Structure 1
Amino acid sequence: MNILMPTDFSENSWNAISYALSFFKNVYTNFYFLHVEPTEWEQDEEDLQTVQVKAKNSATAFQVLLERLGNQQLNNKHQFYTSLERGHFVDTVREHVQERDIDFIVMGTQGASGYKEATVGSHSTEVITRVKCPVLVIPENANYREPKNITFPTDFNISYKNKVIHTLKQVCHFNESALSVLYLSKKSEDLTERQEGNKAYLKEQLLEIDHSFHYTRNDTLEEAVQSFVTSHDTQMITMMAKNLNFFQHILFHPLAKKISYHKEIPFLVLHE
């Protein structure tokens, strides 16, 4: 298993690293830590000196990170590698995904700047929407709880490709998790023929793992998710990036005070 972990050396980034170490504890894993310095500098001497200082500071920060990892209980199934790059963040992440055959990207939601008014940080948002690789997003307030219950909100409007099914089953096998497929709707109406077909296919493909299907109707999708994950003690939420409108409502817009899942529960975003 190859895991890419973009880091800005913040405590939120460290929290994501700690979560990943626990989540993949039973899996032989190569962790690739990546720090990307932006290229907002010109070719004059002063800017070059600034770049050199930043590179030195980042190298030192990586050393501190490795020392911090060394203070953890070591897992002989895990190997660690570091990479310091300069360039456009998303392009660099995409290159590493391709070159290192990355299976999952794991990252914190915001980093050093904190949440402010956003539910998901700008770097996380860019990676989720522009890099076709499963992304596990760890909120800053998320403490590791073994994900025995994973919730998969869906509306059955899109087909489920083999890669998505494989990733779903793979994640459930990591920690022997049960998958709750949650059908969300704003209206009380029967499924269309297409929805019924997608549901039947998904049900057939999930036979080898512990799973269940649930239905809830609510005018506000975020409230429906909040109610379900609370009542079912959910430790992780997974969604498909392809279902963009549905996906954006649940992950990017839950700013109401009574909505807390985006601050506490990790999100696994699936790509085809």
Structure 2
Amino acid sequence: MKHILIPTDFSSNSWNALEYALNLLTNERCLFYILHVDELRNSDIQGNSLMVMTSPKRISAKENLQLLLKKISNLPSNALHQFIALEEYGNLIDLVRKTVEEKRIDLIVMGTKGASGIKASIIGSNTGNIITRIACNVLVIPENTIIKNPIKIGFPTDFNLFYTYPILNSLTEILEISNAKLEVIHVTQSKPNFSNTQVINQAYLHDYLKELFTENHSFNHILGKNVRDSILNYIEENKIEMLTMVAKNLNLFQQVFFNNSVEELSHQTSIPLLVMHE
């Protein structure tokens, strides 16, 4: 059984992420943990009873979670899926990390808000921090994502990183679950002049994919002055419906997803992004 964590702020973005995950994992036995993290000041501990009396009644996180579970129950039933609601107060990153460890989470699914079209937008700081600071695979679902299984998954790589078992296993799982074709994307400013390390890593990945997904993968070398723009153009022109990258490949990851400032983590807004951790 897969353990899936879905942080929620009860927004339409987080609901879209939940629906995407349920659709993608339709045929998988899953335990979904629906986690809401609120500020400490909104916990049951109130320092001033008079303030509580004079303030408008606030719908509690527990009540919102109950409403969310009821909304989930109105979706088409799936005997393979179970749901547990979690209510926490404090720092989001610390509590997500704690939940990942205690519940042995396999995948975090998060919604994010963005602009329309191919234009890049800033991923919410919470999502960006979870991607970069928590060692767990993260599937980011932009608000404009159409809920359907991807037919083509793009995998940008510079072949500088050795593909360890966790990375290859994550690739295998998403390809088997979606039955999608994997398109390996390598961008270079001139004719590829690979180092020995790159040659070995590319050959290793090629042999692995050829053995397991003979007809469902391709290697694509693109000439382009700007790595980020070249990848985004490839996604648009080839109708890529999910992007996956290795978090450890910081050099390429920053070229594609970071703007001038490291804090400005950006992502093309209409397709999901799967960030794989070792």
Aligned match of 1:244: 250
Is 1:265 aligned with 2:268?
no
Question: Please, what is the CA RMSD of the aligned residues?
Answer: 2.7
Distance 2:130 2:101 in 1: 14
Amino acid at match of 1:121: G
Partner residue, 1:39: 40
Q: Say which of 37, 59, 67 aligns to 2:70.
A: 67
Distance 2:85 2:155 in 1: 33
Q: What is the deviation of 1:41?
A: 8.0
1:212 aligns to 2:237 (yes or no): no
Give the number of aligned pairs.
Answer: 263
**Which stretch of the first structure deviates more once superposed, 17-26 or 219-228?**
219-228
- Counterpart of 1:19, as a letter, is Y
Q: Contact conserved, 2:257 with 2:267, CA < 8 A, in 1? A: no
User: How far is the alpha carbon of 1:268 from its aligned partner?
Assistant: 0.1
Structure 2 contact 243–271 (Cα < 8 Å) conserved: yes
Report the Cα offset of residue 57 of structure 1: 1.6
The whole-number CA distance in structure 2 between the counterparts of 1:219 and 1:47 is 62
Counterpart of 1:166 in structure 2 is 169
Match of 1:10 in 2: 11
Structure 1 counterpart of 2:133, one-letter code:
R
Contact 1:16 1:108 in 2 (8 A): yes
SS at match of 1:108: strand
Q: 5+ unaligned residues in a row in structure 1: which ranges?
A: 255-259
- Residues 44/19 of structure 1: CA separation in 2 closer, same or farther (3 Å cut): closer
Q: Is the 8 A contact 2:232 2:268 kept in 1?
A: no
Q: C-alpha distance in 2, partners of 1:73/1:41?
A: 33
Partner of 1:23: 24
Question: What are the residue-to-residue correspondences of 1:1-272 with 2, within 5 Å?
Answer: 1-39=2-40, 45-46=47-48, 57-110=60-113, 118-206=121-209, 207-209=211-213, 210-253=216-259, 262-272=268-278
For 1:58, give the aligned amino acid: A
- Contact 1:119 1:251 (C-alpha < 8 Å) held by counterparts: no
* Counterparts of 1:187 and 1:55, CA distance in 2: 59
TM normalised by structure 1 equals 0.88
Task: Give, as a single letter, the amino acid of the residue that structure 2 aligns with 1:77.
Answer: L
Once the two structures are superposed, residues 188-244 of structure 1 have per-residue CA deviations (whole angstroms, 9 ceiling, x without a partner) of 331111100110111122220221111112112222112211222211000011111
Shift of 1:186: 2.9
Q: Specify every segment of 5 or more residues in structure 2 that has no aligned partner in the other structure, as ranges.
A: 261-265
User: What is the deviation of 1:38?
Assistant: 2.7
Seq. identity, %: 38
1:14 Cα shift? Answer: 0.6
